[in-house]
Amino acid sequence: MAKSKAYKKQELGNSQLKMTWIKLRENKLAVASMFILLLVCLVAIFAPLIAPYDYTAQNYDEMLMFPCLAHPFGTDQFGRDILSRIIWGSRYTLIIGFLTMVVSCIVGTALGVFAAYYPKLDNPIMRFLDIFSSIPDMALLMCLVIILGTSMTNMIIALGIYYVPGYARLARAQVLTLRDEEYVEASRALGASDARILLNHILPNAMAPIIVRFTMSTGGCILESASLSFIGLGIQPPEPEWGLMISQGKSFLSTNWYYSIIPGLCIVLVSYCLNYLGDGLRDALDPRLNY
């Protein structure tokens, strides 16, 4: 009996995934964005095998070379190959973006769920998070990074704190809608514990908008991290983070435009792909649009 119930649950999950994929395929731009992001992930994973040069190797005979066959994206002021640094920099960009979103999603969703499901916790949790929401994003991030120190770990912590209130408000709104549904009341009447109700009935039905926010917020997080690196509060030299590369190339923008423009285009491409994918997932996961 238990096996049969588990099998039916698995079949239902597979059916839902199939329907989501069918809906997602209708959005060609979202599918193209997904494949571009997969390609960027593969480039980041296999960077040591793909990069044509050591991204730290300096060659003063080839300083500030324009793009050519030997260096398709040119070289910087130290003669380092920009293509190799772009390839290795994708690791920093993806790690910062996705790790920040994972941390902030888990913490924010947990706070939002507790605030909505336990009314006594609602006001203290949400008013505390409103404090962070009331501060402009860059001002908050700069203060947190200055307090914690400039490193990739501290930047992820600062970005995570900034994104937690958004996830908390979204999760709270979803749980407030779902907690009085008939199937939740039935489970409660049968003696199910709060943990079982939250994990088995409420969270699975609240995940669709959270997944969409995760995807779309990752693009914003990448832009925020690049902004911090640009002003010197993020990844520090000589690491090849894209925002830092834009900052290092701004002094040569009038003569060697490729130095800043190419990593800037990479940031824009990844951010747009994440936004388009998030838009496609919203259409595929929202039951109100399945007509």
Q: Which fold has domain 83-289?
A: MetI-like fold (1.10.3720)
pLDDT at 204: 80
What is the full DSSP assignment across 74-128? -B-TT--BHHHHHHHHHHHHHHHHHHHHHHHHHHHHHHHHHHHHSHHHHHHHHHH
pLDDT at 1: 47
pLDDT at 163: 93
pLDDT at 16: 65
pLDDT of the chain, 291 residues: tens digit per residue: 444 544 444 454 456 667 777 777 788 888 999 999 999 999 999 999 999 999 998 988 889 899 999 899 999 999 999 999 999 999 998 999 999 999 999 999 999 999 988 888 889 999 999 888 888 888 889 999 989 888 888 999 999 999 999 999 999 998 888 877 777 778 777 777 878 888 887 888 888 888 888 988 898 899 898 888 888 888 888 888 898 899 888 888 888 899 999 999 999 999 999 988 888 888 777 654 444
The domain segmentation of the chain, as residue ranges, is 83-289
- The DSSP H or E segment spanning 71 is none
Q: Which amino acid is at 101?
A: M
Q: What are residue 81's DSSP bridge partners?
A: 75
Kindly report whether the global pTM for this prediction surpasses the value 0.75. yes
Q: Do 206 and 178 meet the contact criterion of CB atoms below 8 Å apart?
A: yes
